[in-house]
Structure 1
Amino acid sequence: MSNENVAILMSTYNGEKYLEEQVKSIISQDYTDWHLYIRDDGSTDSTVNLIKKIARDNEKITFLNENKPKNLGVTGSFMDLLANTKAQYYMFSDQDDYWMEDKISATLRKMQASEIDHMPICVHSNLTVVDTNLHGDSLMNSSEEHWSDFKSMLFANCVTGCTMMINQELKNLLDFDKVKSNKLYVHDWWIALVAAAFGKVVYLDRSTILYRQHQGNVIGSNKKTTLFNKNEPFNGRVIRMVKITSDFWQAYGSKLTGQNKNYVKNYASLVQHRNPLWNLRIVLKYPPARATTTGNLVFGSIVVRDYQKLSRLG
């Protein structure tokens, strides 16, 4: 495997407690042709001073917004990092995990084995859920909890951002000027949707990181990612699914074809109609992917019940 330029994008927010340990795991990678870009999202603790020290001590680390602090939120911060860096491949890093020594090399091998004719590709992997002291051996995903087709990805995200690698061809499809990233729900779902629609989502069936779970996590992933997850209100997930579909239609509707276009167009239209029976007809005609018949009926009932909320999204 020849060396390729990998940009690692890390967003921080009040991350002083675990930041040095995470950076150490990146520095200790068996693959060395990487550069770490850190963007702070408005920390109020000593994170900024810590980043300055880390960047000063290692030429492979850049504090991207040292003189321009601004809170953009998690998604906005990662998308800003992606928009303002240049490499052949990009990886996303949380501030509090711990990377296995071969995370970059293993992911890059999977990426290069999947690249054909400059195809846009997103590679993601499994992860090990651990406690604050990095103890634990529970894998987040079972063999059935990952998928790669666009229709399934539209209804539920299975891609965890801190395990992702994307290539430059996929980044080229992300219209940073057209899409207001600070209004996107999550960057990993959005990027995975673009990859599934116009390229390929590839799963590396092994863990590449220790994913630390603690009270200060901005986004936790010890919960499942399916649409019918009981760990959070179902109607909220339906609303978010319709919102991201509406945004995707505005950004990429003209480029979609076939069944993918039909699904996105019709679910995006739910934000424009105030007739609950019309909304229910859409759900019955274009049933959610990866759902049971009971799940479809529940989904439809939520759309009918919350049609006024859906209309306000528009």
Structure 2
Amino acid sequence: MQIHTKPSHRISVLLVTFNHENYIRQALNSLFGQVFNEPIELIIADDASSDATLNLIKEYEGKDDRFTFKYLDSTTNLGITKNYKRGFSACLGQYVAVLEGDDYWISAFKLQRQIDFLDTHWESDLCSVNYFVLEEDRFHFHPRAAIGNGHRLISARDLIADNLVGNFSTCMYRKTALDTLPLKLFEICSYDWIVNICVARSSLIGFLEEPMSVYRLHSNGVWTQTPHVEKLKQQLEIVPEYDNLTNNVFHAEFEVLSNRLHHKIQTANLVDAVAVMTPSTAGKISRMMDYLPPVLLSVARVFIPPKLKRLIVRVIQRDAA
């Protein structure tokens, strides 16, 4: 007979880092500033940082009696998917919150409010929070969703259509949900989106509308550095694998997403083509438009994406000048 023992910590915080020395203090300060009067198991999953990230984390040891530090091996770079796999496995708490080393929390009550939600909402295995996106190079903040004081419930199908959860640093999971993630999930390139879709196969996601976290976009981030069209292509390529991973239960939703990504890629390619158009070519197009029947121009205005229309107008005006 298997005996289940009660976790020694009600909550584990999984700190995921890789070369985050410029950001880790802000992340840790937001964690250590949480108003939460229970023990916290802190799992440090550093993916072989080559900078001072780990040394900076060690400076926080002994500063707060609530925290028990547990370091995972940091001698080998595993990549984000395998790093999360071992991190989730190492957490022993009833609940698991994630904090990535270049993000930070802006509510001192984030952990408590998420625990309170999961304690009373058994239909949810994941509680996420609204967040600000920080575009660091432009010094620009904007909220991911409309700010409110309530919550909404999100299904896996909702998440496929729009990844409202957005990033791991907003998430708190029931450990039992993480333990039942399919092993195949960690054999392919997996990020927060597909992890949360898998969690939501048998539960709903609670989304607290108050912003409590900041997702940082910076020039050192791999995803931030990836060109827009390449991001879309990567998403499109991975959709069939995610569809298979979820046993085609959400095939219709993934098909809609694939069609939308195809359209975005085609539009982006057209925009790029117009952007590099030579003045002589732009002039020819402008003169050709003078001879097109008005009805064809009206149809074109309906079907050409607004962004492309604006760019065409700018190119033609550039040539006219």
Identify the TM-score tier after normalising by the shorter chain.
0.5 to 0.7
Report if the CA contact (8 A) 1:52-1:63 is conserved.
no
Q: Alpha carbons of 1:215 and 1:45: their partners in 2 closer, same or farther (altered >3 Å)?
A: same
Partner of 1:35: 41
Q: Distance in 2 between matches of 1:207 and 1:29?
A: 15
The structural deviation recorded for 1:166 is 0.7
The structural deviation recorded for 1:196 is 1.9
Q: Distance in 1 between matches of 2:200 and 2:45?
A: 28
Where structure 1 has 5 or more consecutive residues not aligned to the other structure, the ranges are: 224-229, 268-282, 302-314
Partner of 1:12: 17
Identity %: 18
Partner of 1:191: 195
Q: Distance in 2 between matches of 1:88 and 1:7?
A: 8
Q: Distance in 1 between matches of 2:261 and 2:214?
A: 35
The structural deviation recorded for 1:218 is 4.3
Report if the CA contact (8 A) 1:73-1:182 is conserved.
no
1:186-216 per-residue CA deviation (whole Å, 9 max, x = no partner) reads 1x22321122211121111121113333212
Report if the CA contact (8 A) 1:13-1:42 is conserved.
yes
Is the partner of 1:179 in helix, strand or coil? helix
Q: Distance in 1 between matches of 2:158 and 2:199?
A: 13
Higher alpha-carbon deviation: 193-202 or 128-137: 128-137
1:125-157 per-residue CA deviation (whole Å, 9 max, x = no partner) reads 1101235599754202248xx972233434553
Partner of 1:123: 127
Report if the CA contact (8 A) 1:122-1:200 is conserved.
yes
TM-score (norm 1): 0.67
Number of residue pairs the alignment of both structures matches: 251
The structural deviation recorded for 1:109 is 2.0
Q: Distance in 2 between matches of 1:148 and 1:114?
A: 13
Is the partner of 1:37 in helix, strand or coil? strand
The structural deviation recorded for 1:8 is 0.7
The structural deviation recorded for 1:164 is 0.5
- The alignment status of 1:46 with 2:44, answered yes or no, reads no
Partner of 1:167: 174
Q: Distance in 2 between matches of 1:262 and 1:238?
A: 14
Report if the CA contact (8 A) 2:47-2:74 is conserved.
no
Is the partner of 2:210 in helix, strand or coil? strand
Q: Distance in 2 between matches of 1:35 and 1:217?
A: 27
Q: Distance in 1 between matches of 2:113 and 2:230?
A: 33
The structural deviation recorded for 1:47 is 1.6
Partner of 2:297: none
- The alignment status of 1:216 with 2:220, answered yes or no, reads yes
Is the partner of 2:44 in helix, strand or coil? strand
Report if the CA contact (8 A) 1:9-1:38 is conserved.
yes
- The alignment status of 1:241 with 2:245, answered yes or no, reads no
Q: Which has the larger radius of gyration?
A: 2
Residue correspondence of structure 1 range 283-302 to structure 2 within 5 A: 283=255, 287-288=256-257, 295=260, 298=263
Q: Distance in 2 between matches of 1:171 and 1:233?
A: 27
Residue correspondence of structure 1 range 63-78 to structure 2 within 5 A: 63-65=70-72, 67-78=73-84
The structural deviation recorded for 1:29 is 0.4
Aligned-residue Cα RMSD (Å) equals: 3.6
- The alignment status of 1:111 with 2:109, answered yes or no, reads no
Partner of 1:97: 103
Where structure 2 has 5 or more consecutive residues not aligned to the other structure, the ranges are: 1-7, 267-321
Report if the CA contact (8 A) 2:156-2:204 is conserved.
no
Higher alpha-carbon deviation: 27-36 or 47-56: 47-56
Partner of 1:139: 143
Q: Distance in 2 between matches of 1:212 and 1:288?
A: 25
Amino acid in the other structure paired with 1:128: F
1:275-298 per-residue CA deviation (whole Å, 9 max, x = no partner) reads xxxxxxxx5xxx459x8xxx4984
Q: Alpha carbons of 1:78 and 1:212: their partners in 2 closer, same or farther (altered >3 Å)?
A: same
1:38-93 per-residue CA deviation (whole Å, 9 max, x = no partner) reads 1110111122222333335555142422x552211223212211111211100110
Q: Distance in 1 between matches of 2:156 and 2:229?
A: 24
Q: Distance in 2 between matches of 1:101 and 1:134?
A: 26
Q: Distance in 1 between matches of 2:17 and 2:181?
A: 22
Partner of 2:303: none
Residue 62 (structure 1) aligned to one of 60, 69, 73: 69
